[in-house]
Amino acid sequence: MNNRRRVLTYVLGALSAVLVLGALGVLAWNTWQSRTTQARAQEARRQVVQDFVELGLKHANAGRWDEAIQAFSVAIAAAPEDAAEAYYYRALVYTRLERYGDALEDLNKALEQQPHFPQGYAARGSVYLALDRPASAVEDFKKAIQLGLTDDPTLYINLGQAYFKLDLYDLAEQNFKKALELDPENPAALFNLGSLYLKKGDDEQALDYLNRTLQKDPNFAAAYFNRAMALAHLGRTDEAIADLEQFLLMPVSHQAQLQAQALLERLRSGKPVDFPTPTGQ
């Protein structure tokens, strides 16, 4: 009898072990299947994001801004927690459309998800510059350089402009010259140095850099305006008038046209001139 009980105990024990192992096997299978399903869903979302980011870039490169925004928005909706790239590109489109508030919001989100993304800081610095927040722009431009974006002349030009707006002219000059080290024929760097020297009252230096600007880019409208002021300061009125006339033939803002027309009339009349602030770029 005792032997039978032992055998029955062994059998029941073995059966319990089989049942436990079976339950564990089902649990493991369900866990694996769940993880596999989640991985596949995540991969599918990533593919959607990639496809719509690429579509958005195609639209943006073709100047189809609304379609680009829609495509980037689909990418963001597909994976909002992993959409730094889509937020960044949508911000660039918003910046192109001068929707700076929307651009700033998207760049903030992109940098929350990718805090070591130097191009994101450079882009946000440009938005801050457009919003007339030069101190914030300086912080972001310096962060972009710190993170390794050290070979982009446009970044140093923008940083120089931010310092210029803060009346930190020596720092502005250093950064404009750094841009020229990277690209000795960069018209924007030449122009900004010319504008800086004009602001500081060094008309000869200003004229030199503005001449070089227009040699590199004869369609650089703001350079004609600023060169006209440098020439007028130097008493070369006829040349200043010619530059203003050329400026008025170019596609510039209505406000700039009014400013140039007023200056032109004063120069033609020989009346004293209150020179405006040099035009920036």
Does the pLDDT of residue 272 top 90, yes or no? no
What CATH number labels 116-184?
1.25.40.10
Does the pLDDT of residue 189 top 80, yes or no? yes
pLDDT at site 30: 57
Q: Tell me the pLDDT band of 4, cut-offs 50, 70 and 90.
A: very low
Does the pLDDT of residue 134 top 50, yes or no? yes
Which superfamily is assigned to 187-281 in CATH? Tetratricopeptide repeat domain (1.25.40.10)
Average pLDDT over residues 207-232: 98
Does the pLDDT of residue 240 top 50, yes or no? yes
44-114 topology per CATH? 1.25.40
Report residue 141 as tokens: 């431009």
Average pLDDT, the chain: 89
What's this model's pTM, rounded to 2 decimal places? Answer: 0.82
Map out the domains of the chain as residue ranges: 44-114, 116-184, 187-281
Share of the chain above pLDDT 90, in %: 78
Answer whether 130's CB lies under 8 Å from 112's CB: no
pLDDT at site 164: 97
Q: Tell me the pLDDT band of 103, cut-offs 50, 70 and 90.
A: very high
Share of the chain above pLDDT 70, in %: 83
Does the pLDDT of residue 269 top 60, yes or no? yes
Instruction: Identify the residue with better confidence: 277 or 123.
Output: 123
pLDDT at site 45: 78
Amino acid in the structure at residue 17: A
Name the helix (H) or strand (E) containing 60.
Answer: helix 2-61
Whole-angstrom distance, CA of residue 104 vs CA of residue 270: 47
pLDDT at site 19: 53
Answer whether 140's CB lies under 8 Å from 122's CB: yes
Whole-angstrom distance, CA of residue 277 vs CA of residue 30: 72
Do 44-114 and 187-281 fold alike per CATH? yes
* Proportion of the chain in helix, strand, coil states, percent, rounded to 5: 80, 0, 20
